[in-house]
Structure 1
């Protein structure tokens, strides 16, 4: 079985997203995964999360004995310049965001990625359309969800959740691509709701909604604890600006909200237009009206939303990826 190496990109426990989800799935299929954790570690060590999944904390994965072929899994474009350090048998680029706006610094590395990557996987249609005309082996694999993790009803209510009003929630990065101006109007128009925000700061230094009595920023929650919060949301929000960057955004939170059974109100991002039973509004006043309607009316579509999430589990996503990797690895061995 091959070994996946992931260069230091994001801390393992910081907002458990696509890289951690897919690499964990690869390890559960019997592949060795060496995840070079990002952080300051007083002593270099290997932290084994399972027989096949190991966090390299302050130590290079290349210093650890592991089976080949060695697969270099990249999500940060600049790491394409580090491939010689890893001597990989296969280079895989997982394209998770558009190289625009907040990620514009990624664009200069794309020619090298196209030249050196053996396989490219894309999380959204617009990213796929960019690469498919420039590389011979490009595959669309959207984001997903760990359905078993998010779907069960938690037994306890988190103690820091506000009480007494319906909860309108947001889980994800506290970032510039959130439409904070839209949210300010919606919050002002709906004092009868509590608005709860969960997540880590990204390219922002302070929370933009500090001056509202019905807004609660609860910080970053562990992946283990997150379902307990989502299950107490009456509506989950995806209030993103519509920009060149978010055109390629396939929000993981959509699948996590759906697996938790909650209704979703979002701005009309390209990747959300075909999602069943989602509510989309771009105008702030209509967004606010739709929100009140969702809270007031009976929810008839919970089962359908949860079924959609279950069909988009990370196990399905990782299986598709591993199939293409196996095909490519076999062809490489035949050509030797």
Structure 2
């Protein structure tokens, strides 16, 4: 069976997102995954999370005995230049963001990606629209959710959640693409609500909001995250509408839905076809919609959770593995 190698890109335990989810799914299917963890490791080691999933902490994946074909899984465009270091049998680029604005530094690597990647997966329609006419093996695979992880109701309430008011929550990167100006207006208009933010600072030196009804709880472990989401009355996706975010397929949407909570977002292209979502871009209308969600009976919880269940990471990874195994088989037959 193929072995997947992921060069050092993001720490395994930091903002558990698409790379960790997919590679974890591949390992659950019996494929060996060698994840080169990012960080400073004074005592290099191989940390095995299962019999097939290994974190290479301060150690090259090539030092670990493994079977071929060797598949190099890339999500950072600049890593296209380190392909020769790994001598892979197959190079896969998983395109997760538009190479614009915050990620503009990615753009110069795209010609090389088109030349050297054997297979390209895309997390959004706009990213797919770029690669599809330019490469023979391109597939659209949006983000997803570990439904079993996020759907069960928690047994206890986190102690650092505020009490006494409805909770309007945000889970994700505290980043420049969040519409902080919109949030400032909405928060000031709703003093009787608590706004809770969970996530790591990204391209930000400090949390940008300072109001009495705002609580920044920092980054929570992936294990603990569902417990927080279940206490949100409304989940927020308040992103700016930019060239970069038009290619954003927010993982938090699926996680919110799996937890059963209502979602209020700005109208990102990837969110327009999502059932039972609430979309507003104007701060006044955003605030009015928020009040409406809190006062009206929620009759759509089952449909939201059903949508999340249909978009589980197992389904996503299965589609990817099908294409990967077809290509590896074809490559072996041509040798």
Which interval holds the TM-score relative to the shorter structure? over 0.9
Hey, what does 1:154 align to over in structure 2? 154
Deviation (angstroms), 1:314: 0.0
- Distance between the aligned counterparts of 2:155 and 2:52, measured in 1? 31
Hey, what does 1:4 align to over in structure 2? 4
Hey, what does 1:250 align to over in structure 2? 249
Listed one character per residue, the Cα deviations across residues 165-201 of structure 1 (whole Å, up to 9, x for unaligned) are: 0000000000000000000000000001000000001
Deviation (angstroms), 1:334: 1.2
- Distance between the aligned counterparts of 1:36 and 1:60, measured in 2? 7
- Distance between the aligned counterparts of 1:73 and 1:22, measured in 2? 10
- Distance between the aligned counterparts of 2:205 and 2:297, measured in 1? 39
- Distance between the aligned counterparts of 1:227 and 1:207, measured in 2? 22
Hey, what does 2:18 align to over in structure 1? 18
Deviating beyond 3 angstroms after TM superposition, the runs of 4 or more aligned structure 1 residues are none
Deviation (angstroms), 1:50: 0.3
> SS of the residue aligned with 1:139?
strand
Deviation (angstroms), 1:244: 0.3
- State the TM-score, normalizing by the size of structure 1: 0.99
Deviation (angstroms), 1:117: 0.3
Deviation (angstroms), 1:98: 0.2
Hey, what does 1:274 align to over in structure 2? 273
- Distance between the aligned counterparts of 2:164 and 2:171, measured in 1? 20
Hey, what does 1:317 align to over in structure 2? 316
- Which residues in structure 2 correspond to 1:291-306 (within 5 Å)? 291-306=290-305
Deviation (angstroms), 1:140: 0.1
In the alignment, structure 1 residue 125 sits paired with structure 2 residue 145: no
Hey, what does 1:167 align to over in structure 2? 167
> SS of the residue aligned with 1:68?
coil
- Distance between the aligned counterparts of 2:59 and 2:321, measured in 1? 27
Hey, what does 2:50 align to over in structure 1? 50
Q: Which structure 2 segments of 5+ residues have no match?
A: none
Deviation (angstroms), 1:71: 0.1
In the alignment, structure 1 residue 182 sits paired with structure 2 residue 178: no
Hey, what does 1:72 align to over in structure 2? 72
Hey, what does 1:330 align to over in structure 2? 329
- Distance between the aligned counterparts of 2:260 and 2:59, measured in 1? 41
Q: Which structure 1 segments of 5+ residues have no match?
A: none
Deviation (angstroms), 1:226: 0.2
Hey, what does 1:196 align to over in structure 2? 196
Listed one character per residue, the Cα deviations across residues 128-178 of structure 1 (whole Å, up to 9, x for unaligned) are: 000001000000000000000000001000000000000000000000000
- Distance between the aligned counterparts of 2:220 and 2:19, measured in 1? 18
Deviation (angstroms), 1:237: 0.1
Listed one character per residue, the Cα deviations across residues 226-281 of structure 1 (whole Å, up to 9, x for unaligned) are: 00000000000000000000000000000000000000000000000000000000
- Distance between the aligned counterparts of 1:333 and 1:38, measured in 2? 32
Deviation (angstroms), 1:91: 0.1
CA RMSD, 1 decimal: 0.3
- State the TM-score, normalizing by the size of structure 2: 1.00
Listed one character per residue, the Cα deviations across residues 89-143 of structure 1 (whole Å, up to 9, x for unaligned) are: 0000000000000000000000000000000000000000000010000000000
Hey, what does 1:113 align to over in structure 2? 113
Deviation (angstroms), 1:288: 0.3
- Distance between the aligned counterparts of 1:333 and 1:41, measured in 2? 37
- Distance between the aligned counterparts of 1:40 and 1:130, measured in 2? 36
- Distance between the aligned counterparts of 2:250 and 2:198, measured in 1? 15
Listed one character per residue, the Cα deviations across residues 282-316 of structure 1 (whole Å, up to 9, x for unaligned) are: 10000000001101111000000000000000000
- Distance between the aligned counterparts of 1:295 and 1:87, measured in 2? 55
> SS of the residue aligned with 2:134?
coil
Hey, what does 1:34 align to over in structure 2? 34
> SS of the residue aligned with 2:324?
helix
